Chain A
Amino acid sequence: MDTPDLTTQQHHDYDHAYYRKVHDRGRLSLLVALVGSFAIPFYLSVVLGHGVDVTTLTAGMIFVLGFVGIIWIVEPISYYPVLGPVGNYMSFLSGNIGNMRMPVVGGVQKALDAEPGTKRAELAAVYGLAASTITNLVILFVVIIGGTFIVQALPDSVLAAFTYAIPGIVGAMIYAFGSKLSPRNIVIVVVLGLLIVQAIRLVGQVSEGAGRLLGTGQVGIAAAVAIVVALLLARREGPAQDPEVEDPGE
């Protein structure tokens, strides 16, 4: 969009150096996090000698594998087109991707009228994600320090109302990303989405275990299908053939 002419060799080299640094630092920080996340368990089990309950540990790990094993693989791939490389490294370290990081990037792109995949969208997302991470930590600290007190001070009805925050933000995102698609592509996604959900439900009726396994990963599976369909559509139509409808009605 408004990016300076990135086709020149100069800009290409600049980008190349930038992304090399992004991957170096991104992977290093996640590697440190990977090792660091085992520090508390190591301290409790080994340093203090509390050990582990092997049966519970095994059962717990099997639970985790069944619960998120598919999601581990599908999420970094399916969220990448929106988050971009820096966004991937930032979001998968700070967590809460579906309910916080994706809405932030969607909102930033919408507020700046930036098309996903452009440098503008990608760089703006970095600032949005940084602000989101800090805000998240500030609120978490407030909760950690005064959490019990806050909960007791708020009426139950107010706390219960917050259960609608997540469906609400999901709705807002359905518009934010749907407004970037042509009506035809919206229909394609909706039909495919419903088919996938129903297919997984059918599997669940045949085999409860398999159904539960696929059910927890269904958002990721649906996203993966959407990526494949988008690739096929773009390939068939060639470059810049999809009528991008931005803010219908304007």
Chain B
Amino acid sequence: MTETLQLAHSPVVWGLALGMVGLVLVQTYMFVAMANRYVKDTGVITHAERAKAIRVGTIATIGPAIAVFTVAIVLIGLIGAPITLSRIGIIGSAAFEGLTANAGSGDTLGTAEFTPTLLATATWVMAFGGAGWLVTTILFTKPLETAQEKFEQTNPALIGLVGAMAPFMVFFVMGYEQSMGGITADEGANYGPLAAVVVGALAMWGFVRLAHLRRGLAWMGEWAIGLALVLAIIAGVLAERI
């Protein structure tokens, strides 16, 4: 166990993990540079809108990131910091990587049976899990863009409709499952998730409306997700105690 975690923290493993993070940063820099160029040449969004998008992106990430990384901390204890970094900083999500790491180690995570060979096996399984998404994204994105371009010319309303209907379905089903999961839980009904979903939606509506109400309140539009999240967490905790 100790030997396995020592191996998981060896300098080469650290180096390879940081290399993957570096790749994410390089890709981000590349696409931002291209977007800057595009915006400069076409004026498709303003300077102020760009700054706003960056602020919204930062604010909307903080809450979920903290939530996800409470799972990451557990994973660090089981498979070490660099492998966690290389899996969660790119491609995967903490919950999924936790499950694949466990399956890839033959359920030996955190036990004395977790040998270096099983650590190696787990990293193969995790890499395989992430590879699927990379392959399909490489294959599908260009054809989808070509299809979108075609639709844009024949039926422009379609893109907007698909772009709102598909994600609405995604979040409705996620919200429904999380709410029902809490209510029908084996260890007694928990209305926390339902309350968090409902209050999250109502608060988002409220803050967006307030932001449109007066010029002085426009900043609320950017903070809407962050503020809605705080209220949703409070509602979840309160509902759990009922």
A-B contact count (CB 8 A): 579
7 nearest A-B pairs in the assembled complex, by CB-CB distance: A171-B200, A168-B232, A116-B163, A164-B236, A117-B159, A131-B57, A128-B57
Interface residue from B7, B27, B61, B159 paired with A132 (Cβ < 8 Å): B61
Partner of A135, one of B58, B67, B91, B174: B58
Residues of the B chain whose Cβ atoms lie less than 8 Å from the Cβ of A48: 7, 116, 120
A111 touches B159 (CB 8 A): no
On chain A, the residues within 8 Å of B106 by CB distance are: 53, 55-56, 59-60
B91 in complex: contacting residue of A55, A92, A242, CB < 8 Å: A92
Most central of B7, B52, B53 by chain A CB within 10 Å: B53
Chain A residues, CB < 8 A from B194: 167
13 contacts between A and B (CB under 8 A): A41-B120, A52-B117, A64-B103, A64-B128, A72-B132, A79-B170, A89-B141, A104-B61, A147-B73, A171-B232, A175-B204, A177-B171, A250-B209
B96 engages A88 (CB within 8 Å):
no
How far does the Cβ of B225 sit from chain A's closest Cβ, in whole Å?
5
A204 lies within 8 A of chain B by Cβ: no
Q: Are A173 and B233 in contact (CB under 8 A)?
A: no
Task: Answer whether A234 and B54 are a contact pair too, CB < 8 Å, given A60-B103, A136-B89.
Answer: no
Instruction: State how many angstroms separate the Cβ of A211 from the closest Cβ of chain B.
Output: 14
The reply to whether B204 and A89 contact each other, CB–CB distance below 8 Å, is no
Number of interface residues of B (CB under 8 A): 153
Q: Are B197 and A174 in contact (CB under 8 A)?
A: yes
Task: Identify which of B73, B134, B148 gathers the most chain A CB atoms within 10 Å of its CB.
Answer: B134
Check if B175 sits within 8 Å of A167, measured CB to CB: yes
Instruction: Say yes or no: A196 contacts B173, CB within 8 Å.
Output: yes
Cβ B166 vs Cβ A226 within 8 A = yes
Q: Check A61 against B56 for contact (C-beta < 8 Å).
A: no
Interface residues on A, range: 35 or more
B residues near A159, Cβ cutoff 8 Å:
70
In the docked arrangement, what's the CA distance between A31 and B7, Å? 27
The residue that B45 contacts in the complex, of A120, A178, A226, with Cβ under 8 A, is A120
A210 within 8 A of B: no
Which chain A residues in 77-122 approach chain B with CB under 8 Å? 77-82, 85-86, 88-90, 92-100, 102-104, 106-108, 110-112, 115-121
Given known contacts A111-B222, A174-B168, A223-B166, A164 and B232 CB-to-CB distance under 8 angstroms:
yes
Q: Is the interface of A mostly helix, strand, loop or mixed?
A: helix
Q: Return A41 CB to nearest CB of chain B, in Å.
A: 4
Contact with A along B80-98 (1 / 0, CB 8 A): 0111111011111100100
Q: Residues of B contacting A41 with CB < 8 Å?
A: 120, 123-124, 127
Alpha-carbon distance between A192 and B89 when the two chains are bound, in angstroms: 35
Do residues A126 and B32 form an inter-chain contact, with CB atoms below 8 A? yes
A97: chain B residues at CB < 8 Å are: 93
Q: Is B55 an interface residue (CB 8 A)?
A: yes
Among B152-174, those with CB < 8 Å from A are 152, 154-174
In Å, the complex CA distance between A24 and B177 comes to: 38
A128 close to B53 (CB less than 8 A): yes
Cβ-defined contact, B197 with A167, below 8 A:
yes
- Hey, which chain B residues are within 8 Å of A202, CB to CB? none
Complex partner residue of B170 from A78, A118, A171, A231, CB under 8 angstroms = A78
Known: A90-B28, A147-B72, A172-B224; 6 extra A-B contacts, CB below 8 A, are A95-B92, A107-B60, A137-B89, A140-B72, A167-B178, A171-B196
Q: Within the assembled complex, what's the spacing in Å between the Cα atoms of A183 and B107? A: 47
What residues of B have a CB within 8 angstroms of the CB of A150 in the complex? 73
B residues less than 8 Å from A206 (CB atoms)? none
* Docked complex Cα distance between A126 and B54 (Å): 9
Contact check, A96 vs B155: say whether CB atoms are below 8 A apart.
no
Interchain CA distance A39-B82 in the complex, whole Å: 13
Given the interface pairs A174-B197, A175-B204, the reply to whether A2 lies near B27 with Cβ below 8 Å is no
